[in-house]
Amino acid sequence: MILEVKNLEVSYGNIRALHGISFEVEKGEIVTLIGANGAGKTTTLRSISSLERVQNGQIVFNGKPITNMKAHQIVKMGISHVPEGRKIIGNLTVLENLMMGAYIRSDRVGIQESLEEVFTRFPRLKERAKQQGSTLSGGEQQMLAIGRGLMAKPEILLLDEPSMGLSPILVEEIFNIISSINKLGTTVLLVEQNAFMALQVAHRGYVLETGQIIISGPSETLRSDERVRTAYLGEIA
């Protein structure tokens, strides 16, 4: 088991965002968290990355408790977070943004190898390596955000809403990229409002509603679940 979340509780002031959720991610899987806005999906990822403080519960990575560790320590352990909204640095070049993803690393040869791997996976980033991040299209910025996450050479990649704001063609391209990243050995925990696409690429999924997990199972099972089909796949009951 690469990641275990046990009875996680997170609050914003007096508002409880997560009500004791528990889930697991096996090494080599794509696991998706789906649910409506405000369900607690982003809070879950931010808690794993120590960007939100956990009040109760435990997060375990490769058998080691990591709850409320410092964020840079989380990255060093092998967890890379691609946040909602991409959060690239617009006044830095594509190359500079990518190198920011490798800030915890000191292996120069390995960093160069990772950079070449990113450029191989995202040829458009190589073409635009000297351009400022702010000049890229939305799809290219998402590729840059994922590439930056991969520069940390993570064991698990946390992806928050990678398809947000993208055209249908680019959404399909991004999800193909997620699948290829996983097939090359990186475990993925995916938060995504596009439940249809998320359940197409994921091995398993958990459905969050108001800070609680209400349904879980293999993606195929969730795709055929009437509650999921009605609430998240746009089908009429």
User: Please, are residues 31 and 206 in contact by the beta-carbon 8 Å criterion?
Assistant: yes
- Identify the band that residue 91 occupies on the pLDDT scale cut at 50, 70 and 90: confident
| Per-residue pLDDT tens over the stretch 3-55 | 999 999 999 998 999 999 999 999 999 999 999 888 999 999 999 999 999 99
Compute, in degrees rounded to 10, the torsion defined by CA atoms 221, 224, 226, 227: 50
Q: Residue 235: its pLDDT value, please?
A: 54
CA 210 – CA 40 distance, rounded (Å):
7
Helix, strand, coil share (%) of the chain residues, nearest 5: 40, 25, 35
Specify burial of residue 155 (Cβ count, 10 A radius: 0-12, 13-18, 19+): middle
Q: Is the pLDDT of residue 86 over 90?
A: no
Q: Residue 232: its pLDDT value, please?
A: 83
| Per-residue pLDDT tens over the stretch 209-222 | 999 999 999 999 99
Residue ranges of the chain assigned to CATH 3.40.50.300: 3-78+154-231
CATH code linked to domain 3-78+154-231: 3.40.50.300
- Identify the band that residue 236 occupies on the pLDDT scale cut at 50, 70 and 90: very low
| Per-residue pLDDT tens over the stretch 108-142 | 999 999 999 999 999 999 999 999 999 999 889 99
Spatial CA neighbour of 57 closest among 76, 44, 38? 44
Lowest pLDDT segment from 128-137, 165-174, 180-189, 207-216? 165-174
Q: Residue 101: its pLDDT value, please?
A: 93
The partner residues of 58 in beta bridges, in order of sequence, read 6
Catalogue the E-assigned strands of the chain: 3-12, 15-25, 30-34, 56-61, 64-65, 79-82, 156-160, 187-191, 204-209, 212-218
- Identify the band that residue 74 occupies on the pLDDT scale cut at 50, 70 and 90: very high
